[in-house]
Each structure stands twice: as structure tokens, then as C-alpha cells.
């Protein structure tokens, strides 16, 4: 057990339970990340080569997948906060992944696959949010909860470093049947580990029961609730933010995610057409960024103990805007490679610290908070599609300039009304 993680656990009798839950939780995190990393990047290629769907049907499929994924995640997020059944929802979502990938391995009818994607696959997309919510109420409590969350988030980054490469090898060996079969088996492993090693979180005291580190006294005789975690100095005595302020933050995050997806989609085309680089150059750039994200997430998780989460989170879109601006005026692949430090830092702050930031906005509903954060990505992906089309006509530098503006606009929304740190 790494010493930094042990230090991040709460100093109360349940610390031993949190330590025992770390191994199965991290295993499920990695399994889910690998399954997603192996299947998601090749979905369009699967539809084109194996299902023989045209551009219109591929577009329809991807839109349906994004919309139903958001709806399923939102529903499960609310359901997970309504009662003590978070672990069972995680097991159920993993089993949905088994069904979705298992059927995708053998079915080649477009409309049947569309139904499978809108049901089983959509439910499985809720796993990431629910795993973060589970971590929040078990191993993620205490003063160093942000570090714990970031440490778990690095497993997703690591899976995306290895997953696509492994998937390419599997496709060469056995086609899409093999890749979806392996993904189904990995989901099955996640379901088994979750069932055996991730018990339901017990009743936890409300934030009113816990003395603030600033010296506030606890409320004697308060009833325990199962609605959420105790979050040390960040949530002691804190209440959920107002709906208006919550949605202001959600819109800001969506703008940041739209910029991020636009930047990733435009990068291969920009390197090829504007910088006259190769596909290998693009792969090296993406791999460099992913490699830098992992240590940066851990570093920012440690800094979150001393620097307010809000301050760190707001630095994310600022760094992202700087990265996009640099790429928009770059003249060589080397300049873009050097800028990956800014890109990786921005991603690490938005994707890692951002989870804790949103959970702090809704301390009594970690399931909904994690779902709102996760759903911003598919919404941003949908919004980025027309912007990429415009960039194809006006030049890809315009696309990166637009991404810089979107990042700055997202940060501006978060600054218009101050939230607690």
C-alpha cells in the first residue's frame, strides 16, 4: 500500500475498512477503464467495416449512444443516492457491459445493435460515475480525499494508454468478435470483484455530526443518514449549492469538455494538413500527453490538501486555453509536443480535481454529482461535432482558437458566482 494513499484515509475506526476496499475498488476501476478504452475508439470503425453502416447511420448510432448514455447515467445517479444499494448498481452496470459487449461480439444487424447500445451499453456507461461516488463514501473521505480520487482517476488514464494499443492487436488477431469478447470478459471480472469485494457503504453521519476543522462544534443527537459522505474540512457543516449555481457550474464544465473533445478530434487533421506531420507524430503527441497526465494527477491530488479545490480546478481551463492558443499559432510538431505539458496539466486538473470539486458542490448526493460531471463529456462530444465541421472549412487553427475561447468561457462562468472552496 503506497504511503501517500494510506495518509489520505480518514483517521477513524473505519480506516481499516477503507484500506481493505482499496484493492477491489482499484481493480474494478482498471477493468472498466480497459473495457471502455478497447471498444470506444473503434466504435465507428466497427460500424463501418463489420456492420457495413453508411455515414448517416454511423452518425445516428453515435448520437443515440451519447444521448442514452447520459439518460441512463442520470437515472442511476439519482437512484444510487436514494438508498443503500450503490454496490448492487455497480454490479448491475458491469453485467450490462457483459451483455452489451457479448452481443456486439456476435450480432451484425445494425438495428439490433442500436437497441443493445441504447439499453445495455448505455447502462454500462454509468459505471465510471458510480465508482467515483462509491469511492467518495468509502475510501475517498478525509482531508486528502482529492488525492484518493486523483489516484483512482490515474487508473483510467493508464487504461487509455494501454487499451487502444491492445485493442488494435486483438482486432488483427481475431477481428471485432475477439475484441468485444475480451471486453465482455473484463466487464465480467469487474462484476465479480465488485460483488465479492465492494460491500454496501454503511450509514454515515451527516455533515452536521462532524466538527469542523475551523473549530465548529458538532450537533449532538443528530440522526445518522445514508445520503452521503463526510468530507472533512471541505464539507463539514456544508450544504448542497443552489440549483442555479449548480447548473452554472455544469454549463461551464460542458464548455470545457467541448473544447477538449474538439482539440483531440482536430489534432490528427491539424498535424497532417497544417504541419505536414504523420499519423505516428499524432500518436506520439497523444501518448506523451497521456503519460504526463498520470504523475500530474497525483501531484495535484497532493496539492489539494493545501490549496483549495476550487482554486486548482479553475487553473485547469486557464491552462487548457493556453494550450489551445499555443497550438493555434504553432508552426511545427515540436512546438505542439512542448505544449503537451500545458495540455496534460489542464486535463489532470479538470478531469481529476474536477470530480472532487463537483462532489463538494453536492456533498449529500455524490452519485448525482459524479454523474453530472461524467455526463459533461458526451454532451461536449456532441456539441464539438459541428465545430469540427466549421474548422474543416475555415482551417484547423480556427478550431483550436475556438477551443481556447470555450475554455476561457467555461472558466468565466465559474467565476461569475463564487462557490465555497
| Per-residue pLDDT tens digits for 114-159 | 999 999 999 998 888 888 888 877 766 555 566 677 777 778 778 8
Asked if residue 209 is part of any domain, the answer here is: no
The residue with greater pLDDT, 160 or 405, is 405
Q: For helices 243-273 and 333-347, what crossing angle results, to 10°?
A: 160
pLDDT at residue 221 in the model? 33
Same-domain check for residues 132 and 55: yes
Q: Are 328 and 95 in contact (CB under 8 A)?
A: no
Lowest pLDDT segment from 100-114, 124-138, 168-182, 234-248:
234-248
Cα–Cα dist 9/326, whole Å: 39
Asked if residue 225 is part of any domain, the answer here is: no
Same-domain check for residues 167 and 245: no
Asked if residue 205 is part of any domain, the answer here is: no
Count Cβ neighbours within 10 Å for each residue of 167-190 and write b for 16 or more, e otherwise. beebbeeeebebbbbbbbebbbbb
Asked if residue 50 is part of any domain, the answer here is: yes
Same-domain check for residues 165 and 83: yes
pLDDT (mean) for 59-88: 82
Number of domains in the chain: 2
Same-domain check for residues 249 and 386: yes
Instruction: Tell me what the pLDDT averaged over the chain comes to.
Output: 80
Same-domain check for residues 321 and 400: yes
Same-domain check for residues 166 and 256: no
Task: Pick from 158-167, 272-281, 335-344 the range whose average pLDDT is largest.
Answer: 335-344
pLDDT at residue 106 in the model? 96
Cα–Cα dist 277/331, whole Å: 11
Asked if residue 217 is part of any domain, the answer here is: no
For residue 290, how many other CB atoms are within 10 A of its CB? Answer: 18
Asked if residue 412 is part of any domain, the answer here is: yes
Cα–Cα dist 130/252, whole Å: 22
Alpha helices by DSSP H, 304-365 = 309-329, 333-347, 354-361
Asked if residue 220 is part of any domain, the answer here is: no
Same-domain check for residues 193 and 296: no
Same-domain check for residues 158 and 306: no
DSSP E strands: which ranges in 41-84? none
pLDDT (mean) for 364-373: 82
Cα–Cα dist 192/68, whole Å: 25
Same-domain check for residues 289 and 187: no
pLDDT at residue 142 in the model? 53
Same-domain check for residues 246 and 384: yes
Same-domain check for residues 50 and 173: yes
Same-domain check for residues 44 and 127: yes
Q: At 260, is the pLDDT very low, low, confident or very high (cuts 50, 70, 90)? A: very high
Asked if residue 234 is part of any domain, the answer here is: no
Q: Maximum Cα–Cα distance for the chain, whole Å?
A: 69
Lowest pLDDT segment from 42-51, 52-61, 226-235, 238-247:
226-235
CATH number, domain containing residue 306: 1.20.1250.20
Range of the domain at 112: 3-197
Cα–Cα dist 132/367, whole Å: 8
Share of the chain above pLDDT 90, in %: 32
Amino acid at each position: 500500500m503506497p504511503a501517500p494513499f494510506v495518509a489520505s484515509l480518514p483517521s477513524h475506526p473505519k480506516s481499516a475498512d477503507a484500506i481493505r476496499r482499496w484493492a477491489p475498488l482499484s481493480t474494478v476501476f482498471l477493468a472498466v477503464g480497459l473495457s471502455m478504452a478497447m471498444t470506444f475508439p473503434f466504435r465507428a470503425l466497427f460500424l463501418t467495416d463489420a456492420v457495413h453502416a453508411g455515414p448517416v447511420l454511423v452518425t445516428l448510432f453515435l448520437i443515440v449512444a451519447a444521448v442514452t448514455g447520459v439518460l441512463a447515467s442520470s437515472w442511476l445517479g439519482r437512484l444510487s443516492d436514494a438508498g443503500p444499494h450503490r454496490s448492487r448498481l455497480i454490479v448491475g452496470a458491469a453485467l450490462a457491459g457483459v451483455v452489451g459487449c457479448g452481443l456486439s461480439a456476435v450480432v451484425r444487424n445494425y438495428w439490433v445493435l442500436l437497441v443493445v447500445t441504447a439499453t445495455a451499453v448505455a447502462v454500462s456507461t454509468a459505471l465510471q460515475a458510480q465508482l467515483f461516488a462509491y469511492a467518495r463514501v468509502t475510501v475517498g473521505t478525509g482531508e486528502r480525499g482529492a488525492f484518493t480520487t486523483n489516484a483512482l482517476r490515474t487508473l483510467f488514464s493508464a487504461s487509455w494508454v494501454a487499451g487502444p494499443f491492445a485493442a488494435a492487436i486483438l482486432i488483427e488477431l481475431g477481428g471485432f468478435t475477439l475484441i468485444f469478447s475480451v471486453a465482455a470478459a473484463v466487464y465480467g471480472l469487474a462484476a465479480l470483484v465488485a460483488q465479492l469485494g465492494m460491500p454496501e457503504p454503511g450509514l454515515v453521519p451527516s455533515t452536521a455530526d462532524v466538527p469542523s476543522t475551523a473549530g465548529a462544534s458538532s450537533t449532538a443527537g443528530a440522526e445518522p443518514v445514508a445520503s452521503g459522505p463526510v468530507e472533512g474540512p471541505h464539507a463539514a457543516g456544508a450544504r448542497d449549492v443552489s440549483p442555479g449555481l449548480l447548473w452554472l457550474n455544469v454549463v461551464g464544465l460542458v464548455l470545457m469538455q467541448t473544447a477538449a473533445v474538439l482539440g483531440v478530434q482536430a489534432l490528427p487533421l491539424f498535424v497532417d494538413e497544417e504541419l505536414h506531420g504523420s499519423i505516428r507524430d499524432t500518436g506520439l503527441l497523444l501518448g506523451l500527453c497521456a503519460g504526463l497526465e498520470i504523475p500530474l494527477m497525483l501531484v495535484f491530488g497532493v496539492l489539494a490538501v493545501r490549496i483549495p479545490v476550487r482554486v486548482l480546478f479553475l487553473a485547469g481551463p486557464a491552462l487548457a486555453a493556453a494550450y489551445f492558443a499555443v497550438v493555434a499559432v504553432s508552426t511545427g510538431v515540436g512546438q505542439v509536443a512542448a505544449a503537451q505539458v500545458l495540455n496534460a496539466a489542464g486535463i489532470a486538473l479538470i478531469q481529476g480535481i474536477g470530480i472532487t470539486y463537483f462532489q463538494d458542490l453536492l456533498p449529500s448526493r455524490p452519485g448525482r454529482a459524479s454523474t453530472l460531471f461524467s455526463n459533461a463529456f458526451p454532451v461536449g462530444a456532441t456539441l464539438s461535432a459541428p465545430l469540427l465541421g466549421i474548422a474543416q472549412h475555415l482551417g484547423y487553427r480556427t478550431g483550436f482558437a475556438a477551443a481556447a475561447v470555450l475554455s476561457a468561457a467555461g472558466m468565466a462562468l465559474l467565476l461569475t458566482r463564487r462557490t465555497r472552496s
